[in-house]
Structures are given as C-alpha cells and as structure tokens.
Structure 1
Amino acid sequence: MSLEGYYNYYIVALSVVIAILASYSALSITAKISHSKGRTRFFWLLAGAFVMGSGVWSMHFVGMLAFHLHASVKYDIWLTLFSMVASVISSFIAFYITMPRNINWYKIAFGGFIMGSGIVTMHYMGMAAMIMPVEVSYDKELWALSVLIALIASYAALLLFLRFRNQSSSSWLKWLSAVIMGFAICGMHYTGMKAANFHAQHGIMGGEVSIDFFLLYGVTVTIFFILMVSWGAMFLDRHVLERLAYHDTITGLPNRNEMNRFFETHIGNESIGVLFLDLDQFKAINDTLGHNIGDLLIKEVSIRLREFIRVDQQAFRIGGDEFLFIIKNCSLERAEQLANQILQRIKNVYRIEGNELYITGSIGISIGSIQESDRSVMLKTADTAMYRAKGMGKNQFCVYTEDMGVQEVRKMELEKDLQRALEQKQFIVVYQPKWNVKTNRLYGFEALIRWQHPRLGLVSPGEFIPIAEETGIIVPITRWVLEEACRQCKAWKDQGINQPVSVNLSVRMFQTSSLVEWVQDILNIVELAPHFLELEITESMVFYDINDIIRQLESIRKLGVRVSMDDFGTGYSSIGLLDRIPIDALKLDRLFTNDLDTPGKRAILHAIILMAENLNLDVIAEGVENEEHIEFLTELGCYVMQGYFYGKPMNDEEIFQWLQDRDRTRESG
C-alpha cells in the first residue's frame, strides 16, 4: 500500500533559510581563502568546506523534519553522520581543486562534479538512514532530474565562489547569489523527495506520525550552532584580526597591507593620484630623543593627516616616517593643492612631553590609472619624485615627470653595472696636479676616479659615486683606487718624480673599522713610504661618530700618512672641531674661488686662512682657473692651488708630457 506524505511549510521555509545562510557564509569564506596564505589559507579552506557541507546536510535533515509520513520513523546514527562526512569531504575537494587563481574550465567542471556527487550521496544516504516499516522506491526520471539539479547547482556554486573570492565585503549581489544557491540546493532536495515512493509493508496500516524528534532536533540545533560559530569567526576576523592586520598599531591609519589590498581590488580607468610623504629630519629626532618620542611624533603627524581624509582620498602609513595618500579621480591641480596643504599643516610646532619639535616633509606626486600601470610603477614614480623633492631642499613637493623616469632607469642601470665594472676593470684613475706658487714648484697630485662604461661612455663621478655610497660598493672601489694610486706614486718615485698623491675617502671606509690595517697593508705591498700618501676626508664626516673617526685618523697619522679636509666650508660646519680633528691641511671648496672680487667673500676667505695658520694647517684652494684667482689668493696668504689653470686631471702618459712642458717653461722663463 502506497503512503502519501505531506510537508509542514513553515519548516520548509526554515530549510530554505538555512540553505541561503550556509551559501552566504561559504561565499564569504572563499574571500578569506583567496587573501590568505600558508596555514591560514588551509584553515579557511577547511572552514569553507565544513560550512558548505554541513549547511547542505542540515538543510536536508530540516527538510526531512518538514516531511510527515503516517509511519514511525527513526534514523541510523552512523549513516546519518557518514552522509554529513560525504557532503563536507566533497565540498573540500571541490574548493581545493578550484583554489588556484588561474583556473581552467575543466577543473571547474570536475570540481562541480565532485561537489554534486557528494550532495547526491549525502541526500540518498540520508534517505537510507531512515528506519521505518515502509519500503522506498524511486521514480527513475525524477531521480535523474535530482542528480542533474545537484550537478548544475554545484557547478553554479563554484562559479559564484570564483566570482566572489576576491571580494571580502558584503554586497547585495552576494546576497542575491546566496539566494540563488539556496533555492538550487533546496530544489535538488525536494526533487529527490518527490522521486521517493513510500510503500507500507504487508499488514502495516498508516497511523499517527512518529518521528525521532530527539535526533532530528539535536541535529538542527547542532548545525545552527556550527553556523553561528562560523559567522562569529568571520566577525572576529573582520572586526578584530583584520584590523590588526590592515591597520597601523601606532597611528590607527591603514597600513601597507591595506594599501596593497586597495590596489588589488580597485579596478577602473579613472585617474588615481599617489602622494608619497616622507618626514625630514625624523631620524635625528628619533636618535636624539628616543624611539618613544619618535612614536609620539608619528602619532601626532597622523592626527594632522586625518584632517585630509575624505571619501575619495585615504591616508596610509606604510612604514617608519613614510605616509601615502591615494586620491580617486585626481587631477594634477588637486594633487598639488593637497600636497601644499599637508606640508603647511605638518610643519607647525609639536609639543611632546616638554619638547618643542619642528619637522617638515617632502612629497612626491604620481598620477595615473591602475589599468595603465601596475601599483609598483605608481609607487616607484611617487617615491622617485619624493627623493627629488628632498634633493631640491626638502619641505616641498615634486611631481613625477618622464625625465625623472629616464634618470631613474639610468641610475638603476648604473647600480646594476657597478659591481661588474670593478671586476672587469672599467675604472681608471687620473691625476690632477697641485702647485705651490710661492716656490713655483709641483706640490703633489690628487687621484681621481673615472668610469669608462662600455656602452654609456665616460660616466661622471658625481653620478656614480653617490650610488656607490648608497650601495656600499664604494668600499672595494676606494680600496682599489688607494692601491692603484700608491702603485703609481711608487712608479713615479722610481723615475725620479718625488711627489705625494692624495686619495679621497668615503665615510663608509671608517665604518668598516679596518681602514688603518688596509692603509698599512697597501703601503707594505707597494713598498711606498707613508709620507708620500695623503688621505682626504670630507667635512660632513663630523655628522657621524666623530670620536671613532678621530681615533682612526690619529692611528693613520701615526703611520706617517698626511690627512687633509676636502671641500671645507660647505655642508656641515666643522669649525668647532678643527682643534680636535687630526688633520694637516684644509682644502677650500671651489665655492670660495668664485666671486673673489667681492669684499664679503674675500673677508671670509681671509679669516679661514688666518685660522688655519694659527692651527698650523696648510691651505689648498681648488677651482683655480685664471691668473686673477691666483693673484687674489696669493694676496690673502694662500699659496697652494689646484685647478684647470695648472692642469686638468690626466693619465700617466699625459702627466709626463705635462711635466716636460712645465720644465721647459721654467727653463725658458
């Protein structure tokens, strides 16, 4: 005898709601899978499979609760649990197959087949778990239709997962997709139920409904608990863990991770403005007052930057004293106006724990669209413009131009080729003479490095030396120049030219703590007397560990090597330390040679020469190019000169020719 069942439509509606909620939770978790890596990614993959599988399974059993049959019904616990396991495992396999970013259509089809097969297995295993005095048969056409619906629903579900895995926020489109998925899953279930025909066993008459409510309600409550826990985990991730991951702990501003996420998810042709802000003099404040004051200063700066946050422009702290503004639909005029407002605001006085601090900033501006260039290009160009602003004197902004791009490419190329240049002996050393006008004799030579690039030609030291300083390759380069100059000086000495040679030192050489040993070793190897070598330091070295530099200079002078201070009078003033720094001579920068006819310049130069005389220091003037320079400098008491008037930088052969010409001139005179 055939038994007819009926549905409680309130519970049917509840099963649909469960399917929709499970679908929405699974869609949300796929975004976590996409944005996570390593073990975290595996955790969200497992969570997504568990939520999807258990959600479909719970919908099935709530749907069974809605079905009433005039017979006593119980459930086999083990088959019931196995049906849930089948649903979860199939979801996990399907998610795992489609997890890579670049996915082929056949993988989506295979994943849909696995998930659909799992749902079908779960459904009919759940039907087999029913213990009742009723036989069940299936309509083959409706059974096949239920399988087809399960496969199509699974395939559509995977397509939606792939569509939403790059979106972490909720939207009406995601809810609409969850509703479609929920109805598709319910459609499979109720089609499968429609395919089932229930036949009472012989002698069994229909009676009152008797269902294992304890098991069924227990399953339902458990699944609701699982869904609530999964939603709680996503809430914790979104509102607590996500804030820790995507916001700076000191300032509360979005951090570099949030900036990267913006560039990954933002798609559009509109013009994007990037303002790269770096604070000037921050390192000095951090080092002198401590990191605690530095952190408080960064926090105060961020408070001022928040004043410029709008719906279409956002501030980020990307590390240290670096901040970034991203402006949507940005024009050049708007970017320049914002940059000027930021600079004016942050340079106002800061009062922090009894300290009155002043700080400025340098801003680089880059404007473009995400589709025209990737984020790394925009960040790099803004960074390039920022460093140009610092080079222009700081406390200003600079807009990136194509010319800067060309210069940046050249700089990167030179940086890449520097190591190879040393290995392939592309560097050459030239020597510029120094002349003593009082004795009318040669005073010595200065060794100067040149780079003969195989493709770019002769590269100026002013271009590649700063790059070598920045990368640290200046240390082996300087050692090579020092050894080459000493060998040349020894060769001249063997030929009867007894003149010293001077070599410029980078501050990096002092930071190695091996300078004294290197100088001693080179002198021993070349067999050159120490008084034929002079080392030139720069005035800016006083900005570093001056006590350590003084200690090393004293050791060098004990070897018998002379020390002079190059470019005196520019950069950081070292006048207050001249009585402490162990040097033998001052080299006046060519800045003093220009405009010697002005009374003010001559007064300053005269004061420096008098000071040097009182300290028993020789004075050497650079940039001497005409007889007028010689006349003025001689009147002021400076007698050693270096410049194009006496000779340009020359190689060994040119030096011999120059010496012969000088000897003939002196003999004829």
Structure 2
Amino acid sequence: MLPRDVSRAVAPARPTLSGRVGLVVAGLVVLGEAAWLVARLPGAALVSDLGAVAVATWAAVACVGAARRHPAPLRRFWGLLTATMALAALGRTLWTVERLGGTELPHTPLIGGLFTAGILTGTAALLSSLAAPRSVVGRARTLLDGVIVGLALIPIGWVVVFRDIAAADLADPVRTFGLLYPMFDLMQLTILVAVAGPSRPMWPALTMIGASLATRAAADAAYVSLFAHDAYAPGHPIDVCWPLSYLLIGVATRYPPPPSCAGTEETAESPLPPWWRVALPYLPVGGAIVAVILARRPTGQTPHLIFLGMMTLLGVLAVRQGLAANENLRLVARLRRLAYSDQLTGLPNRLTFNRRLRRALRDDAPVAVLLLDLDGFKQVNDRFGHATGDRLLTGIAERMRDVVGDDGMIARLGGDEFAVLVDAARPVPPEQLADRLLAALEPLPGEEDLGVHPSASIGIAEYGPQHTSHTDLLRDADIAMYAAKAAGKSAYRTCTRALRESAVSRAELIADLRRAVDERQLHLEFQPIVDLASGVVRSAEALVRWRHPRLGTLTPAKFLPVAEETGLILPIDRWVIHEACRAAAVWREHAPEATVAVNIAAAHLRRPELVALVTDATGGAGLPPHALTLELTESALIEGSDAVLARLHQLRELGVGIAIDDFGTGYSSLSYLHRIPATELKIDRSFVTRLDAEDSRAYATVEMVTRLAAAFDLTVVAEGVETDGQHAAVTAIGCVHGQGWRYGRPVSLSELLATLTPVDMPR
C-alpha cells in the first residue's frame, strides 16, 4: 500500500458529483445573466451583481476542492486562487450593498482595496505555480516584466480613452484611477505568459486561467472606456464578462495536476525561449513613449498621471535591468564553472589542468605530471550500467582528492582518466604521491565482493630539457602509464629514455602497419595439421607474416597485438581470410578433402559484416564453406553477446567450422560450450609441452579435454607437438589431430603442396 501523500500524487481524486453539479449550475447562471442583460429586462443591475457574487463564491469553493485533491506542490497555488475568488465575491457583495443603498457606482476605498488585494493574491498564485521560476530573483524578474507592461499601458490607454475628455472631468480621481484596472489585468497576463513559457507543455488549467484574465482585461478596458465617456450604467451587457471570468477559474479546477506532480522527473533540457518572450516586457515601452508625446496638452504640459506613470516605469525598468545584469553575472560565473570543472566529480577538468600546467612551465619551475587510468572500468559500465560507473567515479575522485590534498592539483581529464600536477610549490616526490594514490584506490573492507572497484595504472613524467611544451610532458606521462598497464596494472612507472624510445618505435610500427596491406607487405605461411593415426596432412593453419622493409620478416607476435589495439586488425583479418580461401582452393586441386584454418580477432566477432565477409571470400575463391575453419580464443567467445552467438550460428549454417583456440588458458566453462556452435577444440601448447616431463597434471588435463570434446562431439587438435614423446602421449590419450614442429614448420603454399604424402610416424 502506498503512503497517503504518494498515493495522492500518483492518482489524484477526480472532482465529485457535487462539483460537477456546481459547474453546471454556475454555467447556467452565467448564461441566464447574459440573456437577461442582452434583453435589457427589469432589474438587470441587481441580476448582474447577484450573478457575479454567486459565480465568484462557487469558484472559491471549487478552488478549495482543487487544493484538497491536488498534491502538495499545487496546494499553495490553489489556496491563493481561493483567496482571490473569495475577495472578488466579498468585493462584489459590498458593491451590491452600497449600490442598493443609493450609490450608483460605489468606488469606495474599501471596495477598491478588496479588488486590489484580489489582484495581489492572483499574482502571487501565478508566481507560485509549478512553471514559475524557483528562485527569488527569477520571480522578481517575472513580476517586474508584468509591471513594465502594465505601466506602459497607462499612456497608451490615456491617448485611446481619455484624450477627448475634458480636463475638468479628469480631475475626478475615480475616473482616472479606473484606468489602472486594465493595467493590472495586462500585468497578470504578462506574468502568466512568462511562467507558462515554451519549456514544457501548457497545463490546461493555466490555459483556462489565461482565458479568464483575457476576459477580465477586455471587460475592464470596455468598462473604463464607457465610464470615462459617461456611457456606462449598471446592468450593461459588458457586466456578464466578470462572472464569465470567475466561471473559467472554476473550470480550471477540474483539470488534473501536470505530470511533474505525479512523480515523473523532467530530464530533457529546457529549450531557449523565443525572441518575443525575451523582448516581451520591452515591446510596449516604445508605444508608451509615443503615447506620452501624443498625450501632451496644448499648453505643453503632460498630465500628472502620465508623468507619474512614466517615472515609475523608468524606475521599474532600471530595477529590471539591474536584475538582468546580476543574472548575467551569475550566468557568467556558472559558465566559468561549467567550462573549467568536471560536472560529475567537481574536479578541475582538462582545460583547467592544461592552463595550470602551461602556467607552471612558463615559470620554468620543477613540474611533474601523474596520469592515472582506471583498470577495468569499461567492464564496470558494461556489467552494472553507467549510473553505477558514475557513482564509482565520484567515489574514486573523492578518495584521490583527499589523498592529494595540498600536495598537487588533481583533475579529471575525461572518462576514467585523471591527472595530478605537482609543481615546485608542493615539493612532494611524485613516486610517493603515486604510492599514496594506489593505496587509496585499494578496495575497502566488503568492496572486494562487489566486483565494481577497479585499480589504476599511473604514469609519471617530470619536466626536463627534452620537453618543449606541456603536450610533450603529457605524452611522456601517457607512455609511462601504458608501461604500468603492461607491467600488470595497479602499478606506476616513471617515463625514461628507454620507454620513450620504445614508444617512438611503436608509433613508427603502427604507421608502417597502416601501409602494410596496401603495399602487399603481408604474406601467408601454412602450418600442417595432421591426422595422428595416418600421418596424412588434412588441414593447415594460415599464419600471417609481415615482410617489413626495414626490420625484415616479423612474426604475428611482433605486430598483431599492436594491430588489435589500434583496430588495424580488421583490414588485416579481411586480407588473411581472402588469401587463405584462395590458397585453400589451389591446395584442394591436389587434395580435395583439405581444409584451412584462419585465426580472427575478437573485434571481428562484434561486427555484423563478418558473415558477408566469409561468404564473399569463399565464394570468390570457389571454396566450399565447410573447407574453412575460423579459430577464436576463449575470451573472445565468452564475452560474446547474443548478437555474436547468432552470427556464429549463421556461419555454422553455411558450413564454416568454429574452432576454440588455446583451449584451457581462458575462462573455460561448460556453460559456454553448450551455447557456442563449436566444431573443434585446440589444446594449448602449454599443456602439451609438459607431457615430455611426465607431468601427471598436464597429462590429466589433456585427457580430460579430449573426453570433454568427445562428449560434445568436437574434434581435438593438440597444438605445439614438437617431440616424439609428446606425439606418443597425445596419440595415446586419443587426440585425433596434431599440430606443431614435429609435423612441420609454417611454410609457403608451394612448400605445403609437397607435404601431401603422409608424415613419418614412429612405430
């Protein structure tokens, strides 16, 4: 069961039957009054007064009901509207009593005060709506916008309504004060437009309130014009507009609260307001200036009310501009915070860090940079979601901030990368600071079981003569950080000349590797895979080699890890698959049952075009798909998503074989053997090598894998067979195929064709 407040917020009660009946009765009262006044029946003035009192009273009761039904954020809004309608009902009641007592138009201070109080409570209601600004400055700015528009109406109204009125008649304060009522109406309409704004869908209740204000503004403007020209008498048809405006307020109470009151949170960024909304309070000012010129009397004097109104308008404009200037200053300060700090952790960002670093280098002071990269943070995001990752980053940033303290400036450069600047003003050895940071990032008691607390790798670079700019220093810190990762992570390394030269060599290797495919520097060699029972070469694994123009022939271990890190493995794999299929097609002309195996990277598994690539390669070479086997590592398969598994099943449906390479070295699990459509297991050479030493555990491992493969109807290939003893062991265990130097080293295709005769087997 939901708590009372929550349940009311989620499912607000609908208006009761009595509320619906009251709405119908109020509507009938307005319609009846309109018909009575238009027909000019006897007692029109009394009907007009009683109708206004009745509808205003009903509207006040309806607002009380809305305040009770709606959630807490709206109760103040409806409470103020209740007071507004109650003051209107009370004012109209006193008006009626005074008029029946003999005063034709009882514009007494008490009645005027009640109507003015109603305007104040109505304005307060608009400023307390959910769409209104939340800050005091924002509400004051909105209120001033309304006041500016209202004050600008005074000279305009004077020209339109009072210009042809005799000066003697204008001495009556009642006549001139009547001009202020439309001003107040227009002020409230301006505030309503401002608070509704374009940032969210218009709440229908505010639409009804806006219609009520527009109706009242039209009625007040018509009343002032008629009254100024002695053309108004109680019971005039215009009188129906006031109860109609109260009726619209009552209709507004029937609408449910906006979605923001029902527990939903707006996450979308508010759009910028249109130009007319920004210019709204200033647009009527130009008209007011023209009206002041036109309102001047033949004597050159400006009427006192116009003069007073314009002076007030200038004062309000000055205050409004002061608020705008203050808001601009706060906005500039906020923009500076956004520009120079990280919004998630509150730390300085990359821009601030680079500015401080450049300033320190200009002072030619000893400077060191510590670059931190979290180990395994991507897995946290992938496994637990970005919200968990953000909370983790916030906690880690807080720990590092506490550790660094006044000994350096820590910044978040982006993602899971942080940096610490240590300059001469804080003479702490950077290695000591790195030790403290690594200790601070160790999991606290209980965090080890959560699996969401990565370690960090730290690279240190100290400013020296070899650095010409701050980018050189950051580059060296980056080099040292990657060296720390290569050393096993959760460690730090200081950049040395050897590390720098190694990084330069690696960068040159990457640049050369980008040209290797296009310039035909790659070639394939094939290592035979033999049938252990007969010695016949049944298959071969295609191995890529790089004929580097300067370094000579490089084996895959020299360049494939770099290719995988940089994404260059994708074009290399595409080339290898196509070349291997063409070579296998040539081989099958001599040995029709021969097949070829190709290693592909995990990155290719995640790409949807893998199936099309294999189909294109086999079809272009005229090779049957079943003559191709794709070898994948355990880790690549285990991390596979449902889309990856679907891709593997598509390949199997084509007939392509799927081999699990280096089996036993990854996170071997029976569960993924059930899911992956594998056809072959390749036992890693590390187990086969130990068979020579009569390692009972290695023997048991190979035997267990062989039996496991038989249970899953998978073929077994023993890798790394180099000696007769190893050959005898894997044969005795029951492995079907073998691969290794015992049967042949990797050779070119032409040399492979010479191995079609059985390999000599010991008796």
TM bracket (short chain): 0.5 to 0.7
Contact kept, 8 Å, 2:536 with 2:756, in 1: the verdict is no
Local SS of the residue matching 1:262? helix
Q: How far apart in 2 are the matches of 1:265 and 1:333?
A: 19
Classify 1:333/1:645 alpha carbon distance in 2 versus 1 (closer, same or farther; 3 Å).
Answer: farther
Partner of 1:419: 514
From 740, 748, 751, the equivalent of 1:643 is: 740
**1:259 partnered with 2:353:** yes
Partner of 1:608: 705
How far off its partner does 1:625 sit? 1.4
Contact kept, 8 Å, 2:407 with 2:426, in 1: the verdict is no
Contact kept, 8 Å, 1:347 with 1:361, in 2: the verdict is no
How far off its partner does 1:239 sit? 5.1
User: After the TM superposition, which residues 269-284 of structure 1 pair with which residues of structure 2 at under 5 Å, given as runs?
Assistant: 269-284=364-379
How far off its partner does 1:339 sit? 1.3
Superposed CA offset, 1:570-599 (max 9, x none): 233343210221011101122212322222
How far off its partner does 1:331 sit? 12
**1:241 partnered with 2:335:** yes
Q: How far apart in 1 are the matches of 2:722 and 2:618?
A: 34
Partner of 2:501: 406
How far off its partner does 1:637 sit? 2.1
Contact kept, 8 Å, 2:537 with 2:756, in 1: the verdict is no
How far off its partner does 1:236 sit? 5.3
Q: How far apart in 2 are the matches of 1:317 and 1:429?
A: 45
From 705, 721, 727, the equivalent of 1:624 is: 721
Q: Letter of the aligned partner of 2:739 in structure 1?
A: Q
Classify 1:230/1:460 alpha carbon distance in 2 versus 1 (closer, same or farther; 3 Å).
Answer: farther
Q: How far apart in 1 are the matches of 2:424 and 2:623?
A: 67
Q: How far apart in 2 are the matches of 1:329 and 1:265?
A: 12
Superposed CA offset, 1:419-462 (max 9, x none): 32111111101100112222222121000111111122222312
Partner of 1:654: 751
Local SS of the residue matching 1:494? coil
Contact kept, 8 Å, 1:306 with 1:315, in 2: the verdict is yes
Classify 1:350/1:321 alpha carbon distance in 2 versus 1 (closer, same or farther; 3 Å).
Answer: farther
How far off its partner does 1:230 sit? 14
User: After the TM superposition, which residues 143-158 of structure 1 pair with which residues of structure 2 at under 5 Å, given as runs?
Assistant: none
User: After the TM superposition, which residues 191-340 of structure 1 pair with which residues of structure 2 at under 5 Å, given as runs?
Assistant: 240-266=334-360, 267-329=362-424, 334-340=429-435
**1:584 partnered with 2:686:** no
Q: How far apart in 2 are the matches of 1:493 and 1:312?
A: 69
From 352, 355, 360, the equivalent of 2:455 is: 360
Q: How far apart in 1 are the matches of 2:594 and 2:453?
A: 51
Classify 1:601/1:480 alpha carbon distance in 2 versus 1 (closer, same or farther; 3 Å).
Answer: same
Classify 1:539/1:231 alpha carbon distance in 2 versus 1 (closer, same or farther; 3 Å).
Answer: same
Local SS of the residue matching 1:317? strand
Contact kept, 8 Å, 1:276 with 1:363, in 2: the verdict is yes
Partner of 2:239: none
Partner of 1:495: 590
**1:393 partnered with 2:501:** no
Contact kept, 8 Å, 1:490 with 1:527, in 2: the verdict is yes
Contact kept, 8 Å, 1:273 with 1:330, in 2: the verdict is no
Q: How far apart in 2 are the matches of 1:316 and 1:402?
A: 26
**1:483 partnered with 2:586:** no
Classify 1:555/1:425 alpha carbon distance in 2 versus 1 (closer, same or farther; 3 Å).
Answer: same
Local SS of the residue matching 2:676? coil
Classify 1:404/1:474 alpha carbon distance in 2 versus 1 (closer, same or farther; 3 Å).
Answer: same
How far off its partner does 1:496 sit? 4.2
Q: Letter of the aligned partner of 1:462 in structure 2?
A: A
How far off its partner does 1:235 sit? 7.2
Q: How far apart in 2 are the matches of 1:441 and 1:404?
A: 48
How far off its partner does 1:351 sit? 7.9
Contact kept, 8 Å, 2:459 with 2:495, in 1: the verdict is yes
Classify 1:333/1:566 alpha carbon distance in 2 versus 1 (closer, same or farther; 3 Å).
Answer: farther
Superposed CA offset, 1:518-560 (max 9, x none): 2222222211222221111111123433322221122112222
How far off its partner does 1:330 sit? 10
Q: Letter of the aligned partner of 2:742 in structure 1?
A: F
Superposed CA offset, 1:12-64 (max 9, x none): xxxxxxxxxxxxxxxxxxxxxxxxxxxxxxxxxxxxxxxxxxxxxxxxxxxxx
Superposed CA offset, 1:204-236 (max 9, x none): xxxxxxxxxxxxxxxxxxxxx9xx999989975
Local SS of the residue matching 1:307? helix
Q: How far apart in 2 are the matches of 1:631 and 1:392?
A: 38
Classify 1:622/1:371 alpha carbon distance in 2 versus 1 (closer, same or farther; 3 Å).
Answer: closer
Unaligned runs of 5+ in 2: 1-318
Give the length in aligned residue pairs. 442
Classify 1:243/1:572 alpha carbon distance in 2 versus 1 (closer, same or farther; 3 Å).
Answer: same
The structure with more strand, counted as a fraction of residues: 1
How far off its partner does 1:238 sit? 8.0
Aligned alpha-carbon RMSD (Å): 3.3
Classify 1:629/1:330 alpha carbon distance in 2 versus 1 (closer, same or farther; 3 Å).
Answer: farther
Local SS of the residue matching 1:326? strand
Superposed CA offset, 1:442-499 (max 9, x none): 1210001111111222223123222322333322221221111111111122234642
How far off its partner does 1:333 sit? 9.0
Classify 1:601/1:481 alpha carbon distance in 2 versus 1 (closer, same or farther; 3 Å).
Answer: same
Classify 1:399/1:264 alpha carbon distance in 2 versus 1 (closer, same or farther; 3 Å).
Answer: closer
Superposed CA offset, 1:81-125 (max 9, x none): xxxxxxxxxxxxxxxxxxxxxxxxxxxxxxxxxxxxxxxxxxxxx
Classify 1:495/1:367 alpha carbon distance in 2 versus 1 (closer, same or farther; 3 Å).
Answer: same
Q: How far apart in 1 are the matches of 2:720 and 2:591?
A: 28
Q: Letter of the aligned partner of 2:404 in structure 1?
A: I
Partner of 1:559: 654
Classify 1:319/1:485 alpha carbon distance in 2 versus 1 (closer, same or farther; 3 Å).
Answer: same
Q: How far apart in 2 are the matches of 1:571 and 1:375?
A: 41
Q: How far apart in 1 are the matches of 2:734 and 2:334?
A: 73
Structure with higher Rg: it is: 2
Unaligned runs of 5+ in 1: 1-224
TM-score of the superposed pair, with normalisation by structure 1: 0.61
How far off its partner does 1:616 sit? 1.0
Superposed CA offset, 1:378-429 (max 9, x none): 2122122222222222222222222222222122222222232111111101
Q: Which moved more, 1:316-325 or 1:287-296?
A: 287-296
Q: How far apart in 2 are the matches of 1:382 and 1:238?
A: 34
Contact kept, 8 Å, 2:404 with 2:433, in 1: the verdict is no
Q: Letter of the aligned partner of 1:286 in structure 2?
A: N
How far off its partner does 1:237 sit? 8.1
Q: How far apart in 1 are the matches of 2:393 and 2:383?
A: 15
**1:506 partnered with 2:601:** yes
Partner of 1:526: 621
Q: Letter of the aligned partner of 1:389 in structure 2?
A: A
Classify 1:237/1:557 alpha carbon distance in 2 versus 1 (closer, same or farther; 3 Å).
Answer: closer
Partner of 2:258: none
Classify 1:260/1:489 alpha carbon distance in 2 versus 1 (closer, same or farther; 3 Å).
Answer: same
Q: How far apart in 2 are the matches of 1:396 and 1:425?
A: 40
TM-score of the superposed pair, with normalisation by structure 2: 0.54
Local SS of the residue matching 1:650? coil
Contact kept, 8 Å, 2:526 with 2:540, in 1: the verdict is yes
Superposed CA offset, 1:297-349 (max 9, x none): 11111111112334441111111111111112499992222212211111223
Aligned-residue sequence identity (percent) comes to 36
